[in-house]
Amino acid sequence: MKLIPLAAFFLTAAVLTASAAAQSALPASPPHAAPLPVNISPLSFWVRTSVRWHLKPIPVCEWPASRVTLRVEAKKVNVRLMDTGDGDAFEVVVDGKPYGILTATAGTHLYRIFQANMTGIHLIQLVKRTEAFVGTAQLQGFQLSKEGRILPPPAPSGRRIELVGDSISCGYGDEAASQTQHFTPATENAYLSYGAIAARAFDAQFADIAWSGKLMWPHNTMNALYGYILPASKSMPWNFASWMPQAVIINLSTNDFAQGIPSRRGWMRGYKAFIARVRKHYPKAVILCASSPMLWGSRNIASRTWLHSIVEQENAEGDHNVHYLRIATQSAADGYGADWHPSLKTHRIMAGVVIAALQKYLGWKPVQPSHTP
């Protein structure tokens, strides 16, 4: 199968402001922005939230890469957020390009997320850069300048991807300068993680069900959080039937093997049990079992060998929609993020692997999503 070149679909971290000359750079996340006169309810039919938001009585999210989208005609836009943690952050994306970073202060505050010299129509997205333990965000509404109005956003794509993972899939430390830096919320960017990049390449809806430090088996597992809308409090059970992905990527082996090689029998049984849970919810989904880019030596060999064996067993038992996804061990030449996690460059390389796999197994073709206002 001929694969479409990927370079056109990668966004770099260097792009921090929208290209249009009429737009000004986002202010440095000041709470207490000056109020604007046109109020938009967070429950407006034209305010579109992504997967796993708890919507009633007011929208709340925790998972990384959670997104809210609105299309407006306005000169200025505010958002009112209540957040539980200092440092919880959102990538502000305007007309498909990173525009700035909203870094929340604990409590309820009003933030300016867009301003321009003239009124125009713009597609604005807030994408949660940070993972659940950093903070819970409650969306309390938007405000527009006096001439502003909300417009219907583009219809969502029918393509849907779910990723279940650990710190790698959260984008842990991907914006850090080197491996000597330790984790801070400021260097975690789920928007530029491999799963989010791959989803944008297909203009796909994306659920990033990931939490740093989690294992597949036998304790501290992602399995324990998988069924919740709000994982930090283990509240609000998720209705799996409400959103059915065509592809599920499982990237859970790094922490299981980080301290040594676990019990082969126990780990493989735990992994197969999780596949069975995914399959129960999503009977037709392609399931990709990904290897870790952070393991070396005998641990790397064991984890990859066992994943191969699991996939072979699933196929032999009749499930031919389970596949091994080989992600190469990260290279020093590509740099490292905080605490030896993948760098932005490595995330782009990993995204290419995912894109190629989805082309192969689902026949999807990457698209250049339209962000024309």
- The per-residue pLDDT for range 102-114, each reduced to its tens digit, is 999 999 999 999 9
Domains 7-151 and 160-362 fall in the same CATH topology: no
- Residues 6 or more apart in contact with residue 175 via CB below 8 angstroms: 13, 186, 187, 188, 189, 192, 337, 344
Q: Which residue has the higher pLDDT, 12 or 358?
A: 358
| CATH dotted code for 160-362 | 3.40.50.1110
Mean pLDDT of 66-89: 97
State the residue for tokens 């064996």: 309
Mean pLDDT of 201-222: 98
Comparing C-alpha atoms, which of 135, 77, 83, 128 is closest to residue 108?
Answer: 83
The distance from CA 151 to its chain's CA centroid, rounded to whole angstroms, is: 25
What is the pLDDT at residue 2? 28
Whether 338 contacts 183, CB under 8 Å: yes
State the residue for tokens 């029998």: 265
Domain layout of the chain by residue ranges: 7-151, 160-362
pLDDT digits (tens, 9 = 90+) for 287-342: 999 999 999 999 999 999 999 999 999 999 999 999 999 999 999 999 999 999 99
* Per-position b or e across 46-80, b if 16+ CB within 10 A of its CB: ebbbbbbbbeeeebbbbbbbbbbbbbbbbbbbbbb
Q: Would you say residue 354 has pLDDT above 80?
A: yes
Q: Any idea which of 11-25, 42-56, 199-213 has the lowest mean pLDDT?
A: 11-25
The confidence band for 32, taking pLDDT boundaries of 50, 70 and 90, is confident
Q: Is 71 in a helix, a strand, or coil?
A: strand
State the residue for tokens 């992602």: 222
Q: Is 162 in a helix, a strand, or coil?
A: strand
Q: Would you say residue 31 has pLDDT above 70?
A: no
Whether 346 contacts 352, CB under 8 Å: no
| CATH dotted code for 7-151 | 2.60.120.260
Q: Would you say residue 23 has pLDDT above 50?
A: no
The distance from CA 10 to its chain's CA centroid, rounded to whole angstroms, is: 15
Whether 250 contacts 165, CB under 8 Å: yes
Instruction: Please provide the average confidence, as pLDDT, over all residues in the chain.
Output: 92
pLDDT digits (tens, 9 = 90+) for 224-272: 999 999 999 998 999 999 999 999 999 999 999 998 999 999 999 999 9
Q: Would you say residue 146 has pLDDT above 60?
A: yes
Alpha carbons 261 and 121: distance in angstroms, whole number: 55
Of the chain, the percentage scoring pLDDT greater than 70 comes to 90
Mean pLDDT of 22-51: 82
What is the pLDDT at residue 4? 30
Comparing C-alpha atoms, which of 277, 284, 288, 243 is closest to residue 52?
Answer: 243
The distance from CA 290 to its chain's CA centroid, rounded to whole angstroms, is: 16
State the residue for tokens 């197994």: 361
What is the pLDDT at residue 19? 29
What is the pLDDT at residue 14? 26
How many other C-beta atoms lie within 10 A of the C-beta of residue 324? 18
